[in-house]
Structure 1
Amino acid sequence: MALFRNFLRDGLRFVCAAALILASQRTEGQVPSGQTQDRAQLLGGQANPTVPNVTPSGENQGYAVASPNEKDIGEQQILKRMEEYRPFTVSVYSPFFWTSNVALVSSGEEDDFVVAPGVTLLYQPRITKTFYGEIGVVQQFFLYDRFSELNFSSFDAIAGVVYYLPQFHNLSLRARYDYNRLTDIDHFDEFFVNHSIILNADLPFRIGRAQQVFAGVALNLSFYANPDPPRRNDYSFYVGYDVALSHSFSIDAAARVAVRDYYAGDRTDVSEILSLSANYRIRDWLTLSALSSFAWNQSNHSVFDYSVANIGGGVALTLKF
Structure 2
Amino acid sequence: MCAAALILAGQPTQGQVAPGSAQNRAQLLGSQANPTVPNIAPSAENQGYAIASPNEKDIGEQQILKRIEEYKPFTVSVYSPFFWTSNVALVNTGEEDDVVVAPGITLMYQPRITKTFYAELGVVQQFFLYDRFSELNFGSLDAIAGVAYYLPQFHNLSLRARYDYNRLTDTDNFDEFFVNHSIILNAELPFRIGRAQQVFLGVALNLSVYANPEPPRRNDYSFYVGYDVALSRSFSIDAAARLAVRDYYVGDRTDVSEIISLSANYRIRDWLILSALSSFAWNQSNHSVFDYSVANVGGGVALTLKF
Partners of 1:230 and 1:139 in 2: how far apart? 20
Shift of 1:46: 1.1
Look up the equivalent residue of 1:230 and give its one-letter code.
P
Partners of 2:31 and 2:40 in 1: how far apart? 10
Matches within 5 A, 1:1-321: 29-31=2-4, 32=7, 33-48=19-34, 55-60=38-43, 61-65=46-50, 75-76=65-66, 79-81=67-69, 84-321=70-307
Give unpaired runs (5+ residues) of structure 1: 1-27, 68-73
Partners of 2:280 and 2:40 in 1: how far apart? 21
- The answer to whether the 8 Å contact 1:216/1:239 transfers is yes
Structure 2 residue matching 1:101: 3-state secondary structure: coil
Shift of 1:34: 1.9
Partners of 2:112 and 2:184 in 1: how far apart? 20
CA RMSD of aligned residues (A): 1.5
Structure 2 residue matching 1:230: 3-state secondary structure: coil
- TM-score, structure 1 as length reference: 0.85
- The answer to whether the 8 Å contact 2:284/2:292 transfers is yes
Shift of 1:65: 4.4
Partners of 2:206 and 2:279 in 1: how far apart? 21
**Larger helix share, 1 or 2:** 1
Look up the equivalent residue of 1:105 and give its one-letter code.
V
Shift of 1:306: 0.3
Look up the equivalent residue of 2:103 and give its one-letter code.
P
Partners of 1:183 and 1:66 in 2: how far apart? 42
Residues 142-175 of structure 1: CA deviation (Å, up to 9, x unaligned): 0000000000000000000000000000000000
Partners of 1:63 and 1:39 in 2: how far apart? 37
Structure 1 residue matching 2:96: 3-state secondary structure: coil
Larger CA Rg, structure 1 vs 2:
2
- The answer to whether the 8 Å contact 1:65/1:170 transfers is no
Counting aligned pairs with the same residue, the percent is: 81
Structure 1 residue matching 2:90: 3-state secondary structure: coil
Shift of 1:86: 0.3
- TM-score, structure 2 as length reference: 0.89
Shift of 1:64: 3.7
Structure 2 residue matching 1:158: 3-state secondary structure: strand
Give unpaired runs (5+ residues) of structure 2: 8-18, 53-63
